Amino acid sequence: MPTARAFPKPNVGLTTAPISPSTRAPLNNVPIHLVAHILAHLDCISDLWNAIHSHGIFESAFNDLPRFVTKSVLTNQIPRELLPFAWALHESKTSDPRVPGAVENILRKLESAIANPDIAVASLAAVPITDALVTSEFFTTVQDLCQDWAKDVVPVLHEKGIVYPSEQLSHAENFRLSRAFYRYELLCKSFARRGGFRCPEPESATRYFFDTFSPWVTEQLLCAYTYLERKVYIAFDEVAAHDVAWGELPVQWDIPAADCPHLQDFLACGLQFVDRIRRAQGYDEWIKLLRLEDRIILSHDCHISSLLSRAYPGDNMRLRLSLDGVYAPLKSYTPEQFDLLAQASDGEFDGIESGPCRIWSVALAECSMFEWDGIACLPELGYTIWDYPEFDAPAFSRMVGLLSAQGPYFRRVHWIRKDVQRSLDRRADIWLVGGEGYWALNDYNFDRVRGLSEESKKRLVKKWRGDKGSQMLDFPRPAAAAAEDDDDDDSASELEYRFD
The answer, yes or no, to whether residue 99 has pLDDT greater than 70, is yes
Q: Are 304 and 187 in contact (CB under 8 A)?
A: yes
Is the CA virtual torsion 145, 148, 153, 154 positive or negative? positive
Predicted confidence band of residue 266 (pLDDT cuts 50, 70, 90): very high
Cα end-to-end distance, the chain, whole Å: 77
The percentage of the chain sitting over the pLDDT mark of 70, rounded to a whole number, equals 85
pLDDT reading at 370 higher than 90 = no
Per-residue pLDDT, 17: 46
| Mean pLDDT of the region 20-32 | 65
**Which range has highest mean pLDDT (2-6, 311-315, 343-347, 415-419)?**
343-347
What pLDDT is recorded for position 162?
76
pLDDT for the residue numbered 415: 81
Report the alpha-carbon distance of residue 311 to residue 108 in Å, rounded.
18
DSSP state letter for 255: S
Distance in angstroms (rounded) separating the CA atoms of residues 276 and 133: 18
Query: Would you say 364 and 135 are in contact if contact means Cβ atoms under 8 Å apart?
Result: no
Q: Which residues pair with 243 in a beta bridge?
A: 438
Report the C-alpha gap between 279 and 180 in whole angstroms: 20
Cβ-in-10-Å burial (0-12, 13-18, 19+) of 136 comes to: buried
**Is residue 312 pLDDT above 60, yes or no?**
yes
Please say if the pLDDT value at position 10 is more than 60.
Answer: no
The rounded distance, in Å, linking the Cα atoms of 292 and 172 is: 39
In angstroms, the CA 338 to CA 346 distance is: 14
pLDDT at 202: 59
Q: Name the residue ranges covered by the structural domains of the chain.
A: 27-77, 315-411, 417-499
What pTM value is reported for the model?
0.85
**What is the distance between the alpha carbons of residues 80 and 63, in angstroms, rounded to a whole number?**
25
pLDDT score for 174: 97
Q: At what angle do helices 66-77 and 118-125 cross, to 10 degrees?
A: 130
Give the C-alpha distances (Å, rounded to integers) separating 66 from 59, 125, 134, 188, 200. 10, 8, 16, 31, 37
Task: Report DSSP letters for 54-114, one per residue.
Answer: T-HHHHHHHHHSHHHHHHHHHHHHS-GGGHHHHHHHHHHHSS-TTSTTHHHHHHHHHHHHH
Question: What is the model's pLDDT at position 214?
Answer: 94
Q: Specify the DSSP class assigned to residue 28.
A: G
If one counts every other C-beta atom within 10 angstroms of the C-beta of residue 436, the result is 16
For residue 480, name the pLDDT band (cuts at 50, 70, 90). Answer: very low
Cα distance between residue 377 and residue 357, in whole Å: 18
Supply the pLDDT for residue 12: 40
**Mean pLDDT value across the chain:** 83
Span 44-97, pLDDT tens digits: 999 999 999 998 899 999 999 999 999 999 999 999 999 999 999 999 888 876
Residue type, 48: L
C-beta of residue 277 within 8 angstroms of C-beta of residue 235: yes
Q: Is the pLDDT of residue 330 over 90?
A: no
CA distance 95 to 124: 15
Task: Go through the chain and tell me how many residues it has.
Answer: 500
Using a 10 angstrom Cβ sphere, with 0-12 exposed, 13-18 middle and 19 or more buried, the burial of residue 32 is middle
The Cα–Cα gap between 224 and 381 comes to 10
